[in-house]
Amino acid sequence: MDLNNKVRDFYKDLRAIWGLIFFRHEVRITMKYIYPQDLKAKPNMWLWNIKDFAILGFGALIGAVFLIHFHRSLPLGIVGLYAFMAIRLDETTVMDYIRYAVRYFLTTQQYYEWR
């Protein structure tokens, strides 16, 4: 939103308040939020949603402690794997994609009709 639109919206709101105070007109002021999609979408931080990002941060902290004190990198590997599996693009994670593929190819019965 550029400066001209902000100024225009400010004066529009100012006229609405002016009309409400002095002329007793009923005025409806609407708010439009910029992020995320007018507050209707889930918030994301880079490629992960906020819950996954918090889990990754906590896991990275625990993994760093294990690496420094016990010289074991397994927790960092698990956190890296979870980070890859939780990447979210267009409301679908890599984990969801793998789950759908396993369900399609392995667990559900395929129906074939020969002609």
Burial 55-92 (b: 16+ CB within 10 A, else e): ebeebeeebeeeeeeeeeeebbeebeeebeebebeeee
At residue 91 the predicted structure's pLDDT band, cuts being 50, 70 and 90, is confident
Report which of residues 75 and 17 the model is more confident about. 75
Strands (E), the chain: 44-45, 48-49, 88-89, 92-93
Q: State the pLDDT at residue 90.
A: 80
Distance CA 112, CA 18 (A): 71
The 10s digit of each residue's pLDDT in 22-35 is 655 555 666 666 66
